[in-house]
Amino acid sequence: MAKQYTIGELINLSAGYLQEKGCSSPRLDAELLLGHVLGLDRLSLYLNFDKPLTSQEVDAYRRLIGRRGQRIPLAYLTGEREFYSLPLLVNEAVLIPRPETEFVVDKVLELLEPGRPGRILELGTGSGAIAVALACQDPDIQVTAVDISPEALEVARANAQRLEVAGQITFLESDLFQRVSGTFQVICSNPPYIKRDDLGKLAPEIAYEPAVALDGGADGLDFYRRIFRQAASFLEEPGFVVLEIGWDQAREVRALGEEAGLTWLQTVQDYGGRDRVVVFQWKS
């Protein structure tokens, strides 16, 4: 007769396995995946630590643990990632939202004038994380969210509908500004900024994320050049550009923006004290 495992036993066994496979947070991953299978939060898991599981539950969990051991990102296995305290749907078509990208949302909200409808253009929306988070903060915010990937836009639309802000966001399949019209108070983006030669040096999980959302060209700055080249044509005066950057790119991105005629206002640091967001103003 097959052994009947309890919640606690499975978490302990799985955490050890994931640690051997090099996962950075093995116990947390083990807990979250079991919670996903059972429909329980982490507290409920521990309140039911000695509860035995059915063979079907164990089998479903083992499949997920095996895939996590292959370094498939946790968010792709659960299909969800929290961003700005919002539960976002994710899959392999989109970059997994990171906590540091929340600084883009914070900065855009600071720049909008109170009581005035905000018109925002987001370039490379991916899962829709930035656009949806902005729309959820204020019903007067309107976002045009563009992405070159139709598969990514499907995810973004699903998130907007799920969080009931679809009426505030216009999704557009476009290569940056290619199909965009009109002017905006703020242009924001978390563009691809990894140097192409560095992609293979990153954590194994990164290999499962879409390369188109990561590859910033030879020096990691291709998309900043393209954005700055056209940004002024799509901005009101005064208008603002808010961009996420790699931790070591602040000086170079600032120089590119100033060469394009924008005024650098601020570089924002992330939770780790690293440069993460740059802010520019356009005023002719």
pLDDT tens-digit readout, 79-99: 999 999 999 999 999 999 999
Quote the pLDDT of residue 3.
72
| Strand locations in 64-219 (E) | 80-83, 86-89, 118-123, 141-147, 169-173, 184-189
At 59, the pLDDT band (50, 70, 90 cuts) reads very high
- Fold type of domain 7-70: Helicase, Ruva Protein; domain 3 (1.10.8)
Mean pLDDT of 246-256: 97
Confidence grade of residue 212 (pLDDT, cut at 50, 70, 90):
very high
Contact 27, 17 (CB under 8 A): no
Same fold, 7-70 and 92-282: no
Condensed to tens digits (0 to 9), the pLDDT of residues 169-204 reads 999 999 999 999 999 999 999 999 999 999 999 999
Strand order of the β-sheet with 141-147 is: 169-173, 141-147, 118-123, 184-189, 235-244, 275-282, 263-269
Picking from 201, 209, 18, 222, the residue whose alpha carbon sits closest to that of residue 95 is 209
- Proportion of the chain above pLDDT 70, given as a percent: 99
Q: What is the pLDDT of residue 2?
A: 61
Average pLDDT over residues 222-234: 98
92-282 topology per CATH: Rossmann fold (3.40.50)
Q: What is the mean pLDDT of residues 250-278?
A: 97
Does the pLDDT of residue 1 top 60, yes or no? Answer: no
State how far the Cα of 60 lies from the Cα of 188, in Å rounded to an integer. 40
Which pLDDT score, from 0 to 100, does residue 115 have? 75
Can you give the pLDDT at residue 16? 97
Residue type, 80: E
Residue 270 has pLDDT above 90, yes or no: yes
Query: Closest Cα partner for 111 from 240, 237, 264, 284?
Result: 240
- The total of other beta-carbon atoms located within 10 Å of residue 237's CB is 10
Q: Domain-by-domain residue ranges, the chain? A: 7-70, 92-282
pLDDT of 197 reads 94
Give me the pLDDT at residue 235, please: 97
pLDDT, tens digit, 9 for 90 and up, residues 7-57? 999 999 999 999 999 999 999 999 999 999 999 999 999 999 999 999 999
